[in-house]
Amino acid sequence: MANNQHQVKAKKYLGQHFLKDESVAQKIADTLTLNGYKNVLEIGPGMGVLTKYLLKKDVITYVIEIDTESVEYLQANYLNLAPRIIEKDFLKYDVNTVFNNESFAIIGNFPYNISTQIVFKTLEMRNQIPEFSGMFQKEVAERICSKEGSKVYGILSVLTQAFYDAEYLFTVPPNVFNPPPKVDSGVLRLIRKSNYTLPCNEPLFFKTVKTAFQQRRKTLRNSLKTFNFSDNLKANSIFGKRPEQLSVQQFIELTQLIETEI
């Protein structure tokens, strides 16, 4: 492809670490299963290293990029993409301006400073997002995919895995980026569960998980005190556990128990 413009200068405050290894870019693009959607939204395309592999697939690729200099680069180098370049902050943008309530997959080599917020926004929009894959700081990717009993199991793990099957795919070293980040990166994929409506009060589930992990060393009897349960409920052995010991299924059961009293 003709390079019609100077390379974008990496800006630290935007979390810009450009991938320079084409084979890694292709491997990330290939994590999409293409099942159940025809639109793909790439967050933070930068100079399009990942985008060019998405454009070869049988999907409609949109990109959302906050950096004007990157947008100008994309407009100059990816002429076919131009109508589907959105120059916005993903966290603030209403994606239904373009998707009109249709389903779409999310992919990206994400800006690490906002990566957990990207996941939370995805969870809020889970009805429209059957698949999500991409690159995070390795620790964050591990946390999202971790199971009960692990030290890094927390709010992000439980809330994500309540609705998605999470799979850690592979690790990427710093030297394939320009500039290299200080840490390893990890690529994961989330595939929405076929039944992603919880058999319990969903807002209460979110509140229970968040409250329990705010004091992760304490038993649930103590960390969930503000819910004011009856002694009868508190006698249930589940309240003797700490949040990191509970599977997603057990958090659902816990929410169902709490529901009986509110």
Which residues carry a binding-site annotation for S-adenosyl-L-methionine? Answer: 17, 19, 44, 65, 89, 109
For ligand SAH, the closer of residues 70 and 77 by Cβ is 70
Our finding on whether 121 is near ligand SAH (CB under 6 A) is no
How big is the site for ligand SAH, counted in residues (CB under 6 A)?
A: 23
The nearest distance, CB 156 to ligand SAH, in angstroms, is 18
User: Residue 173: is the preceding peptide bond cis (ω within 30°)?
Assistant: no
Helix (H, G, I), strand (E, B) or coil at 85: strand
Span from 12-20, 31-39, 204-212, 215-223 in contact with ligand SAH (CB under 6 A): 12-20
Helix (H, G, I), strand (E, B) or coil at 129: coil
Our finding on whether 161 is near ligand SAH (CB under 6 A) is no
Any residues with CB less than 8 A from the CB of 194 and at least 6 apart, and which? Answer: none
Q: CA–CA separation, 49 vs 18, rounded Å?
A: 8
Our finding on whether 19 is near ligand SAH (CB under 6 A) is yes
145 CA to centre of own chain? 11
The nearest distance, CB 194 to ligand SAH, in angstroms, is 30
Residue 20 burial class via C-beta count within 10 angstroms: exposed 0-12, middle 13-18, buried 19 and up: middle
Q: For residues 43-72, which are near ligand SAH according to CB under 6 A?
A: 43-46, 49-50, 64-67, 70
Provide the residue type at 119 as one letter.
V
For ligand SAH, the closer of residues 16 and 133 by Cβ is 16
Site string for ligand SAH, 90-119 (x = CB under 6 A): xx-----------------x-x--x-----
DSSP 24: H
The nearest distance, CB 25 to ligand SAH, in angstroms, is 7
Closest to 238 measured CA to CA, from 225, 257, 217: 257
Question: Which member of 16, 128, 157, 161 binds ligand SAH (CB under 6 A)?
Answer: 16
Q: Which is it for the CA torsion 67, 16, 54, 138, positive or negative?
A: negative
Phi-psi region of 100 (alpha: psi -120 to 50; beta: other; left: phi over 0): left
**Closest CB to ligand SAH belongs to which residue?**
44
The nearest distance, CB 43 to ligand SAH, in angstroms, is 6
Beta strands in the chain, from DSSP E residues, in sequence order: 18-19, 39-43, 60-64, 85-86, 104-109, 131-137, 164-172, 177-178, 185-192
Structure tokens at 66: 């906050």
The nearest distance, CB 116 to ligand SAH, in angstroms, is 13
Q: For residues 196-255, which are near ligand SAH according to CB under 6 A?
A: none
Could you tell me which residues are beta bridge partners of residue 132? 106, 190
The nearest distance, CB 88 to ligand SAH, in angstroms, is 7
For ligand SAH, the closer of residues 45 and 243 by Cβ is 45
Q: Which residues would be at the binding site for ligand SAH (CB under 6 A)?
A: 14-19, 43-46, 49-50, 64-67, 70, 89-91, 109, 111, 114
